[in-house]
């Protein structure tokens, strides 16, 4: 949990860079993992890197940022990710597939 503030505002500190990736997909995957851990992460420069991939190294790639108050939690989550703490083993069973459409089918536009 981030430190609590004495005031009632929602300010969690300035955005702090925690990672850079050469592909937007990697940045979005890390951002999703951090958000799943309750950290309000955001990506940056993903559209530019996607549109101009040859410039990605010069731009520094796509970035992932978190509020400064969440930095320790974000770094711990990233270390756990590097260690493989979130990996699924070979015996993982996702269960039965969920039907994507309603039981009665999609309504017809007749």
* pLDDT at residue 36 in the model: 95
Say what the pTM is: 0.74
Q: Each residue of 47-59: b (16+ CB within 10 Å) or e?
A: eebeeeeeebeee
Per-residue pLDDT of the chain (110 residues; tens, 9 = 90+): 555 555 556 788 899 999 999 999 999 999 999 999 999 999 999 999 999 989 889 989 999 999 999 999 999 999 999 999 999 888 888 887 776 666 666 676 65
């Amino acid at each position: 949990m981030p430190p609590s503030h004495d005031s009632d505002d929602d300010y969690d500190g300035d955005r702090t860079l925690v990672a850079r990736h050469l592909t937007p997909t990697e940045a979005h995957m890390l951002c999703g993992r951090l958000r799943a851990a309750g950290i309000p992460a955001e990506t940056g420069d993903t559209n530019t890197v996607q549109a101009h991939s040859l410039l990605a190294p010069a731009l520094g790639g796509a970035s992932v940022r978190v509020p400064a108050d969440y930095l320790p939690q974000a770094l711990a989550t990233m270390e756990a990710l590097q260690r493989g703490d979130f990996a699924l083993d070979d015996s993982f069973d996702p269960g039965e597939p969920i039907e994507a459409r309603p039981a009665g089918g999609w309504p017809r536009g007749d």
